[in-house]
Structure 1
Amino acid sequence: MNQRLVLVAFAALLAIVPLIPGMPVFWVTLLGNVGLAALVAIGLVLLTGVGGMTSFGQAAFCGFGAYATAVLTATHGWSPWQALPVALVVSGFAAVVLGLITVRLSGHFLPLGTMAWGLSLYYLFGKIEMLGRHDGISGIPPLSVFGISLADPRAAHYLIWTVVIGAAILTTHLLDSRIGRAIRALRRGQIAAESFGIDVARTKLIVFVYAALLAGLSGWLYAHVQRTVTPAPFGLNAGIEYLFMAVVGGAGQIWGAIVGAGLVTLLKEALQRVVPSLFGTSVQLEGVVFGIALVALLQVAREGLWPHLVRLLPARQRAAPRPADPLARRAPVAGTDSALETGRGEALLVLDQARKQFGGLVAVNDVSFKVRRGEIVALIGPNGAGKSTTFNLITGVAALTAGTVRYDGVEISGTSPRVIARHGVARTFQHVKLNPDMTVLENVALGAHLRGRAGILAAMLRLDRRDEARLLAEAAHQIERIGLAEHMMKPAGSLALGQQRMVEIARALAMDPELLLLDEPAAGLRHFEKTALADLLDRLRAEGMSVLLVEHDMGFVMGLTDHIVVLDFGTKIAEGPPEAIKTHPAVLEAYLGGAA
């Protein structure tokens, strides 16, 4: 039985539960509460588990949705379905306003920020007269579908779980797309994501708003199921519980959100009944036992429950795409081979007096050099010479203190890595920056992000399949190109370091760059792998691509490059063809010392 059949069986069970003879309404209502919580937890899985942005304030967005529909329906006579889009707009608008402030935070400041506005909004809900202050709003009309009232919890059960399963399917579709890969890339740091063209700030805001909309939808359902709204369910404690649900189910698992919501909700309900009977009502120990139980559970299943459940099922092998019908290639100069040959030798990248200071430390000292079309240039020097800092200046990761960087006649100094990537500049990193949980294919497909066009709605509705197939075909083509086709569907974290470096090169090539920047590409590679890498770079040069590489393996550099630039303590000390650099006195002194 595979995962899909399990989900079908789960949906069938949900459909049968209210029809079981003698089933108490209490249990049906409790199951509905699990669904309402799962809806919020699905958004948190995307926001926290996948996107890496911890939020304790999702309950406040439930409050926005619940209070918006309560005011419109109970006070102004709107129907619940008329109030639904308004509730979502209110939740979404609040998420945009709070997200523009919050998602820019990093580290522990982000969760602290969500706690701050979560507490503030809870107290705000209890102070506004229009919202009934702490007494809340009652008399909210029940939902109805095609004239059938859903006031009975058994009837509301079907609507709640239809929405929950629909949201889970749409969110799963979203993750299995170009936008989904961009979201997953956020966890590995924004520098790498920006370097292959992802708009990190926009992607973070999209995830933040999406999670808020799911919470607002849960709040709308809650208001019409409970028929009354007070501030109590939308406080910080509820926000912490929602986060527990996402983590317990599996921080990066969409369907795990339902498992986590069910376990936490049922455990909390059971403890409220069992603990007082064991210890009496004089001391409230439910919260203490609840916390201990969750900590113990996470000690046993640190990845959450869903991955453990999935391991009990036969693994579903996903077929690797054929490396056919690749995306159109960038024309380096014009659209013809003759134009390519004509363009060879022209300066593509020009550094003019590039300087970078960190306080009183000069890391790059007025360095100037050029990379011409169709040539391989090496940037070499001892450790601490400023090579990687120079790479960061070229790619916009670090800002110039003085000087300029021009690419194809356009000044790119002061622009972001994302903008520079759009110009056709791709790079790898000194320390490998792959997502170890994503497959090799998915990691390489991230490089083709700018070459796709499908947006978030197309991804959720599966209207992006043709575009997605072309991006994956391009990724498969580049993986075959580097000789790792048999590892295409493996997690990138399972590969050796040398293979991971090759995957980074494939990801950069998927961008179809004109200029490829490689930061120590041969580090960790065995001899035959270095030979294969040299052959690949030689082919790229023949195709008209320019390459700038930082490398410590002098044998690799001398046998491959057309031109070498040597740095020492941030200053250019030599420049020229490999033959001249081998015997240059300043180079020998920098590497071997003055006596040598």
Structure 2
Amino acid sequence: MSVSQPARALAPAPATSAGPRRRPSRLMVGAVFAALLAVGPYLLPPFYVSLLDYIGIASLVALGLTLLTGTAGMTSFGQAAFVGLGAYTTGVLSSGALGADTLGWLQGSPWLGLAAGLLVTFVAALAIGSLTLRLSGHYLPLGTIAWGISLYYLFGSSTLLGGQSGLGNIPAIALFGLDLDSPARMYWLIWAFVLAGAVTSQNLLDSREGRAIRALKGGVTMAEAMGVNSSRARMVVFILAALQASAAGWLYAHLQRFINPSPFGLHYGIDYLFMSVVGGASSVWGALLGAGVITVLKQWLQDLLPALLGRSGNFEVIVFGVLMIVILQSSSAGLWSLVARLLPVAARAPRIDRASRLSRRALPERGSVVLEARKVTRRFGGLVANNEMDLQLRAGEILGLIGPNGAGKSTMFNQLSGVDTPTSGQVLLCGADMRGKGSRAFASRGLSRTFQHVRLLPQMSVLENVAIGAHLRGHAGVLPAAWRLDRKDEGALLAEAARQLERVGLGDCMHLPAGSLALGQQRILEIARALAADPCVLLLDEPAAGLRLQEKQALGDLLRKLRAEGLAVLLVEHDMDFVMGLVDRLVVMEFGTRIAAGLPEEVQNDPAVLEAYLGGV
């Protein structure tokens, strides 16, 4: 019995003789949605066509928040300010507010206004993100409120931008000789932008760069250990969300032909965040649904409640707030999750090109020292967690690091993997001093690891979770991913992930959500993810925890195979029966120091070890 046998129990049941109910594909659903959009202007009254224009503009902003908040886990209340940047940039340039002598060649064209707006927003987002994204926890959304308010007051205080009176004389967009000077004509351009934004966002999420962004939700420690530059990933998604908001501002300015600061205030930023969350913050198409529901609901409440309750109070705001609470309580995953349950769409399994191969790392010579700790000491104030620890790990061996609870094993593990920096001493990886360089640098030099508490992305498939481990072996960037120009690179990464899953016995469930696996299988999945990085050093933190006897036997067989291939494995484990029959050497810790080292049979009879574990013979 192998590790893969429990996984087979999780696989979908075979179809009956009557055949399964055929589900529509994602492409089919998208085609139906596009067809409905196409006939909308011919079937709906002008008011609702205009309302669809505003839904489309809001959808663009909500799409950016889906990437920023739903996918990367960064809450922003300031996206309306980026809408304002796009709107005011094109408004100033296309209306000639600067005067004929200032940047005359750039004025008058809305399309140049779009390019200028995106450029201004890019620079602003880069500057704001450099400051704001250093914050974490509740400080990050507070930071977005701060710069959102600042830009709002900048719009209202500048005479160049028209102050609170606003900026007029904004021309209509001309496309192929046709002036888009009405809501019905702007409709097609707005929704072309929305569909392009939705498709490119979905493409990005289904790529190497998208997995790096999604990995942020699994924690920075996990992402960096897999080689993801978390600071870059956060900045990338922050800028992308800002650029989508800026494009929405450009469309808004040329639809209205007049702008003032009011639509770019904090309350609109809150509305955009509501749209993303209510629709389904982790779903691209949920952003469109949320924008539609919120926009239509607010319009209906503004029309209906004053007629029923009078115009003396803002009853629509009160009712709207109550409805938002009810919606969020009834469906915390967003309305799109309800739609997905009612109208299930067939999941599109990624194409795996078995012929694609990634380049492999040349393993160090067997017996050579690949990971070494020299006099490693780690202090936390007056507590000494590790005290002058020495350790050597050689290529082609399994080294066990054991000790009673509180011995300092986890702290030592963090020093050896770059998660933490020793107070003093050295950590050498393949001969290079890595002290203070961070876990991403360790990953790039061939060290990969698992975690004591499983760190996976439960909503992502098993295959995609493993592909995160191969992040450093891919090269396609954001723009190729958004326009699906990365298929060769992506195919090789997915093929490598599939091979590693089959290697550890989880090939039967690669397309299942990772969260549906049992705990033991999730630990095996973490090993597959670590192996996808093509490491020369593998650090395993309690990999046998939660595994049944036969699964432990399969895990032991896998680790012996890796050792035979020349991989160096460091194992932290509490299961002594599992450790003693597997490792080549043992290092024993107590109170942060090494008390014994050697062969398993020597260590288990060492008086100091017996004293540490049993209180004496």
TM-score bin, normalised by smaller chain:
over 0.9
Distance 1:10 1:373 in 2: 56
Structure 1 counterpart of 2:48, from 27, 32, 35: 27
Who is 2:334 aligned against?
Answer: 304
Does residue 393 of the first structure (1) align with residue 394 of the second (2)?
no
Q: Which amino acid aligns with 1:13?
A: L
CA positional deviation for 1:2:
3.4
Q: Structure 2 matches for 1:370-381, cutoff 5 A?
A: 370-381=392-403
* Secondary structure of 1:544's aligned partner: coil
Who is 1:38 aligned against?
Answer: 59
Distance 1:260 1:156 in 2: 21
Who is 1:479 aligned against?
Answer: 501
Structure 2 counterpart of 1:543, from 565, 570, 585: 565
* Secondary structure of 1:252's aligned partner: coil
Q: Structure 2 matches for 1:279-358, cutoff 5 A?
A: 279-319=309-349, 321=352, 324-333=355-364, 343-358=365-380
Distance 2:322 2:599 in 1: 67
Structure 2 counterpart of 1:409, from 427, 431, 445: 431
What are the Cα deviations for residues 42-100 of structure 1, in whole angstroms up to 9, with x where unaligned?
00001000010000000000000000001101125421011111000111111111111
Q: Which amino acid aligns with 2:375?
A: Q
* Secondary structure of 1:247's aligned partner: helix
Structure 1 counterpart of 2:71, from 50, 56, 72: 50
Q: Which amino acid aligns with 1:200?
A: S
What residue ranges of structure 2 are gaps of 5+ in the alignment?
1-23, 99-106
Who is 2:26 aligned against?
Answer: 3
Who is 2:512 aligned against?
Answer: 490
- Which shows bigger deviation, 2-11 or 440-449? 2-11
CA positional deviation for 1:475:
0.4
Change in CA separation of 1:39 and 1:87 when aligned onto 2, cut-off 3 Å: same
What are the Cα deviations for residues 303-354 of structure 1, in whole angstroms up to 9, with x where unaligned?
1111211222344143463655442321113xxxxxxxxx222211110000
CA positional deviation for 1:565:
0.4
What is the number of equivalent residue pairs in this alignment? 584
Distance 1:329 1:260 in 2: 45
Q: Which amino acid aligns with 2:270?
A: I
Q: Structure 2 matches for 1:61-210, cutoff 5 A?
A: 61-74=82-95, 75-76=97-98, 77-210=107-240
Distance 1:587 1:323 in 2: 49
Q: Which amino acid aligns with 1:52?
A: G
* Secondary structure of 2:535's aligned partner: coil
Who is 1:588 aligned against?
Answer: 610
Distance 2:46 2:530 in 1: 57
Distance 2:573 2:66 in 1: 40
What are the Cα deviations for residues 237-295 of structure 1, in whole angstroms up to 9, with x where unaligned?
00000000000110100011110000000000111011111110112211110111111
* Secondary structure of 1:477's aligned partner: helix
Who is 2:300 aligned against?
Answer: 270
Distance 2:29 2:480 in 1: 27
Q: Structure 2 matches for 1:226-265, cutoff 5 A?
A: 226-265=256-295
**1:575 and 1:581 in contact (8 A); partners too:** yes
TM-score (norm 1): 0.97
Who is 1:519 aligned against?
Answer: 541
Who is 1:573 aligned against?
Answer: 595
Distance 1:579 1:49 in 2: 52
Distance 2:343 2:353 in 1: 27
Distance 1:324 1:576 in 2: 44
CA positional deviation for 1:128:
1.0
Q: Which amino acid aligns with 2:85?
A: F
Distance 1:249 1:382 in 2: 49
Q: Which amino acid aligns with 1:548?
A: L
**2:180 and 2:186 in contact (8 A); partners too:** yes
* Secondary structure of 1:523's aligned partner: coil
**2:26 and 2:347 in contact (8 A); partners too:** no
**1:376 and 1:560 in contact (8 A); partners too:** yes
**1:73 and 1:83 in contact (8 A); partners too:** yes
- Which shows bigger deviation, 390-399 or 241-250? 390-399
Does residue 421 of the first structure (1) align with residue 443 of the second (2)?
yes
Distance 1:444 1:313 in 2: 29
Distance 1:355 1:63 in 2: 52
CA positional deviation for 1:297:
1.2
Q: Which amino acid aligns with 1:440?
A: V
Distance 1:40 1:64 in 2: 13
Q: Which amino acid aligns with 1:328?
A: S
Distance 2:535 2:355 in 1: 19
CA positional deviation for 1:483:
0.6
Distance 2:112 2:493 in 1: 40
**2:420 and 2:438 in contact (8 A); partners too:** no
* Secondary structure of 2:75's aligned partner: coil
Distance 2:489 2:177 in 1: 41
Distance 1:293 1:153 in 2: 29
Distance 2:118 2:403 in 1: 57
Distance 1:180 1:268 in 2: 33
Distance 1:17 1:564 in 2: 71
Who is 2:11 aligned against?
Answer: none
* Secondary structure of 2:284's aligned partner: coil
* Secondary structure of 2:160's aligned partner: helix
Structure 1 counterpart of 2:461, from 419, 439, 456: 439
Q: Could you say what the CA RMSD is over the residues aligned between the two structures, in angstroms?
A: 1.1
Who is 1:339 aligned against?
Answer: none
Q: Which amino acid aligns with 1:29?
A: S
Who is 1:60 aligned against?
Answer: 81
**1:194 and 1:418 in contact (8 A); partners too:** yes
**1:122 and 1:234 in contact (8 A); partners too:** yes
Who is 1:15 aligned against?
Answer: 38
TM-score (norm 2): 0.93
* Secondary structure of 1:131's aligned partner: coil
* Secondary structure of 2:399's aligned partner: strand
Distance 2:198 2:545 in 1: 42
Who is 1:336 aligned against?
Answer: none
Change in CA separation of 1:491 and 1:245 when aligned onto 2, cut-off 3 Å: same
What is the aligned-residue identity percentage? 55
* Secondary structure of 1:406's aligned partner: strand
What residue ranges of structure 1 are gaps of 5+ in the alignment?
334-342
CA positional deviation for 1:147:
1.0
Distance 2:239 2:344 in 1: 35
Distance 1:79 1:490 in 2: 50
Who is 1:340 aligned against?
Answer: none
Distance 1:328 1:71 in 2: 52
* Secondary structure of 2:460's aligned partner: coil
Change in CA separation of 1:205 and 1:258 when aligned onto 2, cut-off 3 Å: same
**1:37 and 1:261 in contact (8 A); partners too:** yes
Q: Which amino acid aligns with 1:68?
A: T
Distance 2:515 2:132 in 1: 31
**2:25 and 2:348 in contact (8 A); partners too:** no
- Which shows bigger deviation, 487-496 or 40-49? 487-496
Who is 2:9 aligned against?
Answer: none
